[in-house]
Amino acid sequence: MYNCVMDDTLNKDDIERAARAIREADRVCCLTGAGISAESGIPTFRGKDGFWAGRRAEDLATPRAFAADPEDVWAFYLWRRQLLADKVPNAGHTALADIERSVDHFTLVTQNVDGLHRRAGSERMIEIHGNLLLDRCTACGVEVMRTFDDVSDEIPYCDACGAMMRPGVVWFGEMLKPKDLYGAQAAAEASDVMLVVGTSSLVQPAASLSFWAKSNGATVIEVNPDATPLTAAADICFPHGAGAVLPAIASRVFD
């Protein structure tokens, strides 16, 4: 039995409807954004205290910025890595990992690069914007996944060819990896339930996934304290944080 005490402010009927839809589904796709990790203490991008507060994204997260001043860009990303070192998955991350194990065909598509889903136990996952701990060589393309044990303030260089590495994330103006994009689209379009958690539903192409799912007959469930462009189209909406909603849904899935 999944042990959960439900928040009294949650709509219990909607919790049961969402759990029933997941329980009866053959295929579930979940899209997550920065909101789910905000509850672990990681700043979002668009809030007043977010990563871009006081700075332009163009100065830190574009190929042009990296070409112009790689040291400044790396300083920002190395700081973000250090920021992650003491952060842990929250109840929302853990509930999604638990739900994954109860569904035959489950795909988690995350826009987050913090790796918290993986640390919570999620396995069937597409990190469409990359991973903050991944380094990619600017010359030969070799990739190296770092751990928190070797995170430092030193710019990494490639062991294979000696060239400077770059953060293994998707910057503004870059295309997603085709394998990741097509995998996410296929999972959304084939889903019986599309769960959308903590995302503004503004960043494309990820924002289109839920609408593709809806157009193919999926039940769309949105979890977000703020209204988004998806809210009016969703079948069930929870104006709450993921840490309250997802464990409550998971507890009913496992009943």
Query: What is the reported pTM?
Result: 0.89
User: Active site residue: 93, 105, 117, 129, which one?
Assistant: 129
Q: Which of 144, 174, 179 is nearest to 158 (CA)?
A: 144
Average confidence (pLDDT) over 48-52: 52
pLDDT tens digits, residue range 195-224? Answer: 999 999 888 888 899 999 999 999 999 999
pLDDT at 110 over 60: yes
Mean pLDDT of 174-199: 96
pLDDT in tens, 146-173: 887 777 788 999 999 999 999 999 998 8
Domain extent listing, the chain: 1-41+88-129+176-255, 43-86+130-169
Confirm if 74 and 155 have CB atoms less than 8 A apart.
Answer: yes
Q: Which amino acid is at 125?
A: M
Which CATH class name applies to 43-86+130-169? alpha beta
Cα radius of gyration rounded to whole Å, the chain: 19
At residue 51, the pLDDT reads 54
Residue where the block lists tokens 């029933």: 20
Q: What value, to the nearest 5°, has the Cα angle with vertex 12 and ends 6 and 15?
A: 85
Average confidence score pLDDT of the chain = 90
Mean pLDDT along residues 52-58? 60
Give the length of the chain: 255
- The CATH class that applies to domain 1-41+88-129+176-255 reads alpha beta
Question: Has residue 48 got a pLDDT over 80?
Answer: no
H helix or E strand, kind and range, residue 252? helix 242-253
pLDDT > 90 fraction of the chain, expressed in percent and rounded: 75
Verify whether residue 117 is a known catalytic residue: no
DSSP state of 163: P
Q: Is the pLDDT of residue 99 over 90?
A: yes
Q: Are 35 and 239 in contact (CB under 8 A)?
A: no
Q: What number is the average pLDDT over the span 176-191?
A: 96
What span, in angstroms and rounded, lies between the C-alpha atoms of 202 and 84?
A: 25
> What's the CA gap between 209 and 204, in Å, rounded?
9
